[in-house]
Amino acid sequence: MKVLVLGNGGREHALVWKLRQSSRISKLYCAPGNGGIAEEAECLPVDLKNLDSLVALGQQMRPDLTVVGPELPLTLGVVDEFTRRGWPAFGPTKAAAQLESSKSFAKELLQRHRIPTAPYAICDSVEEVRAALAHFHAPVVVKADGLAAGKGVVIATSKEEAASVAAEMFSGKMVGEAGTRVVLEECLKGDELSFLVLSDGERVAPLVAAQDHKRAGDGDTGPNTGGMGAYSTQSIIDDKMRDWLVHHIARPAVAGMKAEGAEFKGVLYCGLMMTARGPMVLEFNCRFGDPETQPILMRLESDLVDALEASIAGRVSEGDFKWSADASVCVVMASGGYPGTFEVGKKITGLSQAGAVEGVKVFHAGTSKLDGEFYTAGGRVLGVSARAPELQTAVARAYEACEKIRFDGAHYRKDIAGRALKK
């Protein structure tokens, strides 16, 4: 079969890498891809922000399966358009993708279906923000309603800061159109957890859990990013907690969407805070996470194509996945200045030496290739990932590989999975 992956980041490289292992695939494409993905799939030009461009590519290729990586094409309706033309596509429709494209939509759905989440207020002006803040204690979480590439969330330490952040979001200077509406939330305390399930619109099958590291600096300091690393182990949650999350969060969300006329097919990413009061939903994403996909897929031992087709066909079951008991980790190497302003075009060396470390796979997130050499082409450049029987060994392997890679301005957190290792 002919398979197309849409996207150009580390998540898409991980998807390509895992899909390439399927004996069912005769030809694998990625659009637009990146320097590293081009080593494992044929890369084709496309504008991910333009639905006409995506449809034109589909018309040219007529793929047997399309896997949509990033959120923007989903919110544009690429799955709707491909499905309407008879090209099977994995992911939610435009209506279902509102779970990610609008935080206010997601919060209201959570409330309607009694799914645990933080108290909140939806505001359309600075005046509404100031009035709503009377009902909150600092710190307060300020979220841009729309898509902001993981950077539309600020934890304000005071109500004055919260009002100021909201004003900056409304002005468009901070996150553009994503900030035309703002959601205020109570700041929850606990450990974050990324819990992903595969859905066919009715049934769900859980993937192994992972933990992301959002802040730019060690010790969870600095600004929020798209994610600086993640890890996955069997011990993040036990079977009892996994079943609770399925029955009280994932399944009610999918059932709620179906009841409201927006059936959800694809991967539902439940971003959770494990609080003293129990798990609470921080956010929903409507696709594989990045960088969580890298360590999750490193543990997957069954055919990913079969699972994706089960979602499309409406026959998802718990048996769709077989997992390794090993631990896995991904350390993101970023450009200097990320998540702020950064330069691209820096030559990358040491990739082959890093990839030779036992258990390591280097996924490319923001790279280009010219005359056989790799160069930086984004904020998050590489996802240096490793698998091993124990988390400590996986972490050691990933960092050993990171030390072999060089490019000007490279930086990465030195404490990915650190809290888990201390426990």
Q: 103 or 318: which carries more pLDDT confidence?
A: 103
pLDDT value at residue 150: 67
pLDDT value at residue 368: 97
Q: 49 or 148: which carries more pLDDT confidence?
A: 49
pLDDT value at residue 319: 85
Q: What average pLDDT score do residues 158-175 get?
A: 92
Per residue in 9-36, pLDDT (tens digit) is 999 999 999 999 999 999 999 999 999 9
Per residue in 109-166, pLDDT (tens digit) is 999 999 999 999 999 999 999 999 999 999 999 999 998 876 789 999 999 999 999 9
Q: What average pLDDT score do residues 408-421 get?
A: 96
Which of these ranges, 40-44, 174-178, 353-357, 419-423, has the smallest mean pLDDT?
Answer: 174-178
- Whether the per-residue pLDDT at 168 is higher than 70: the answer is yes
Q: What's the 3-state SS for the chain?
A: CEEEEEECCHHHHHHHHHHCCCCCCCEEEEEECCCCHHHCCEECCCCCCCHHHHHHHHHHHCCCEEEECCHHHHHHCHHHHHHHCCCCEECCCCCCCHHHHCHHHHHHHHHHCCCCECCEEEECCHHHHHHHHHHCCCCEEEEECCCCCCCCEEEECCHHHHHHHHHHHHHCCCCHHHHCCEEEEECCCCEEEEEEEEEECCCEEECCCEEECCEEECCCEEEECCCCEEEECCCCCCHHHHHHHHHHHHHHHHHHHHHCCCCCEEEEEEEEEEECCEEEEEEEECCCCCCCHHHHHHCECCCHHHHHHHHHHCCCCHHHCCECCCEEEEEEEECCCCCCCCCCCCEEECHHHHHCCCCEEEEECCEEEECCEEEECCCEEEEEEEEECCHHHHHHHHHHHHCCCECCCCECCCCCCHHHHHC
- Whether the per-residue pLDDT at 369 is higher than 80: the answer is yes
Per residue in 220-230, pLDDT (tens digit) is 999 889 899 99
pLDDT value at residue 33: 98
Which of these ranges, 59-63, 223-227, 337-341, 346-350, has the smallest mean pLDDT?
Answer: 223-227
pLDDT value at residue 178: 79
pLDDT value at residue 423: 79
Q: What average pLDDT score do residues 384-397 get?
A: 98
| pLDDT, the chain, mean | 96
pTM of the entire structure? 0.95
- Whether the per-residue pLDDT at 333 is higher than 90: the answer is yes
Q: Kindly tell me the sign of the dihedral angle through the C-alpha atoms of 342, 348, 354, 356.
A: positive
Per residue in 242-269, pLDDT (tens digit) is 999 999 999 999 999 999 999 999 999 9
Per residue in 56-79, pLDDT (tens digit) is 999 999 999 999 999 999 999 999
